[in-house]
Amino acid sequence: MITGSLVALITPMMDDGSVDKSQLNELVEFHIAQGTHGIVAVGTTGESATLNYEEHADVIRQVVQLVKGRVPVIAGTGANSTHEAIDLTKRAKQAGADACLLVTPYYNKPTQEGMFLHFKAIAEAVDIPQILYNVPGRTACDMSNETVLRLSTIKNIVGLKDATGDVIRGQSLITAVSDQFAVYSGDDGTAVDLMIAGAQGNISVTANIAPKKVAQAAEYAMSNQPEKAKAIDAEITALHESLFVEANPIPVKWAAHKMGLCGEGIRLPLTPLSKEYRSQLEDAMSRSGIAI
């Protein structure tokens, strides 16, 4: 089972929007050195919505090659087309990813039965561990705990990234699923609380900027040291909030740029962080002990 702080890695880009492969290498090394427990390549934070098909597969392949087995790599391979999600998942398996992360089908708003059949079809088509991803705030599609429970009986569906921010709902699911099924937080602001309640890790945006503290908080939360986990998390609470003043990954890419981790490149329709929010994010970074 993959556990701990799993960074939802940004995809570094040049000023013209092309993928910066050299900087990607440096980002991978940075996270391993800082104690990040695993890397999620080309999730929402990695701008999966605007990378073309070949770029998507290529970034996954490059991250796997750079990591060299030192930490697990989870590939974002979800789509609102079942056929496309199957193909991306096959390519992630070929690249050597340890698992895949599959978001609920966005925009077309399937029924609960439609979501069940969608994920079942992907699991049956590609024999690789698969983690479901529920983020209704972005997809307009909310997968119920009941649907997750049905899917959890499929052997290679091994977990759920819960980005609802509803700890009580997440705790209810943790209680209901088997010990072989992992629930991960996908909401930095409530991640420590969910891990204290039994979640197996945090797929984190904040970890791009404060990897060591996010990893330490996860370690404490999952080893029955809640006060230590909360104390570390309190140091970066302002960062959790400020990294979402505009749509993710706009703020986190700007923050990473300020730290010298990547350039300013981001793809339309996303744009660099608005000037009105920059001082707020700089202040949050400073209060979190991040040098810029």
Tens digits of per-residue pLDDT, 197-236? Answer: 999 999 999 999 999 999 999 999 999 999 999 999 999 9
Between CA 277 and CA 273 the distance in angstroms is 7
User: For residue 187, is pLDDT > 90?
Assistant: yes
Tokens of 192: 């420590």
pLDDT digits (tens, 9 = 90+) for 239-262: 999 999 999 999 999 999 999 999
Between CA 104 and CA 102 the distance in angstroms is 7
The number of C-alpha atoms within 13 Å of 153 and in the hemisphere containing its C-beta is 7
- Residues 6 or more apart whose CB falls under 8 angstroms from that of 22 comprise none
Domains, the chain, in order of start with CATH, read: 4-235 (3.20.20.70)
By DSSP bridging, strand 73-76 and strand 99-103 are: parallel
User: For residue 58, is pLDDT > 90?
Assistant: yes
186: helix, strand or coil: coil
* 46 DSSP β-pair partners: none
pLDDT digits (tens, 9 = 90+) for 155-171: 999 999 999 999 999 99
What percentage of residues in the chain have a pLDDT greater than 90?
99
pLDDT at position 116, please?
98
User: For residue 292, is pLDDT > 90?
Assistant: no
Q: Which of 132, 113, 134, 114 is nearest to 123 (CA)?
A: 132
Give the H or E element holding residue 90.
helix 82-95
User: For residue 24, is pLDDT > 90?
Assistant: yes
DSSP E strand stretches across 127-205 = 130-134, 157-162, 182-185, 201-204
pLDDT at position 159, please?
98
What percentage of residues in the chain have a pLDDT greater than 70?
100
The three-point CA angle 262-268-272 to 5° equals: 45
* Catalytic center residues: 133, 161
- Is the pTM for the entire model greater than 0.95? yes
* 159 DSSP β-pair partners: 131, 182
Contact at 8 Å (CB) between 183 and 222? no
- Residues 6 or more apart whose CB falls under 8 angstroms from that of 28 comprise 9, 39, 63, 66, 67
Q: Residue 19 has what DSSP assignment?
A: B
pLDDT at position 291, please?
83
Written as one letter, the residue type at 40 is: V
